[in-house]
Amino acid sequence: MAVNDFACHLDVFEGMEPFSGFVENGFLVDFVGQRTDATFRSIWGVDPHATGGREMATAMPALSDGEDWFEFYNWVAAAREARGSYVMMTLGSCYGAQAVGSYLALQALNPMPAKLVAVDGVPENMEMTRKQFRDNGINPNDHWMIEAAMSGDNKPVLFPIGAPGSGTQNCVLTNSGANRMAILDLAKKAGATERLAQSLLMRNSTDLTIDLAPGTEYDFSGEITFVSALTLMDLLAPFERVDFVEADLQQSESVVFPPAMDVLTKKVRRVLLGTHGQSTHDRMEKLFRDRGWDIVFSYAPEQTYETPHATFEMNDGVITAVNPAVAYRS
């Protein structure tokens, strides 16, 4: 299978009609009819008072949309090829749009029983994910809502809690040995080791905040807190087959996926990764390629791409990988 060969994938949306209809006050809507509370997007400048409350017509995804197109493509491709029952996991769920969009695509194109698994280490994000489910007619109690950070093992991690809805958190930088020593050094220099110890014992927090979007216009911050950690192997263990794993882990993909590749290759059909940094992107692509996965799409982050079909910009990178070892029977 050729990488980035759009010719055999651009017809994935054929036969679908984009959503049109009335949208309630304060809601956004996408092409599969997924409603999103606009307050979830206010952190990015969306005015909830200026959304919804009228008839709206959406458009089908266009490759010029960049990252969004790859997400929508995978929702639909995973839905079309599923058989019998469907399991989808979103790692770093933010407010749950990937899970809900995947579910709505499935029920529109290929209805069947489904189990959704949403994981995020920020408590407010999990509350938003539950609301996103309810707002789209999905009972979150019928699915797995897991408040934890994704990591390579189960040791609690130092994780920045804050800026819900921003999707900017990871455990790589804050949880490193160097970062832990830096926190201790700061406390020593400030004569605050007793305060640090008290905060860790009583609140599981360092009482320190960091900028989650340095060098940007956004004022996002997070308090470095101990959070329970979950591995991808933990998530996959109860399932015989998983149809689709979507992960946007802000560099944590580099610690989450390598230890789980054996079980991932045994059980998972399709993966969509948001990648962060050229070296991480290259490493993740090689990881899947070396295990026999087909790399369908691979575009590194923070670049503009010109193709015969469209020009598009990528902020996060994207890797779509499909596992021929987990095939479906017609």
Span 74-84, pLDDT tens digits: 999 999 999 99
pLDDT of residue 169: 66
The CATH number of the domain covering residues in 6-15+61-153+229-322: 3.40.50.150
Task: Using a pLDDT cut of 70, give the percent of the chain over it.
Answer: 96
Confidence of residue 1 (pLDDT cuts 50, 70, 90): low
In the chain, where does the domain assigned CATH 3.40.50.150 lie? 6-15+61-153+229-322
Whole-number Å distance between alpha carbons of 144 and 140: 7
Amino acid identity, position 148: A
Global pTM value:
0.92
pLDDT band at 164 (very low <50, low <70, confident <90, very high): low
Q: Percent of the chain having pLDDT more than 90?
A: 67
CB-CB neighbours of 196 under 10 Å: 19
Q: Which burial class, exposed, middle or buried, applies to 141 when counting CB atoms under 10 A from its CB (0-12, 13-18, 19+)? A: exposed
Judge whether residue 167 has pLDDT over 70. Answer: no
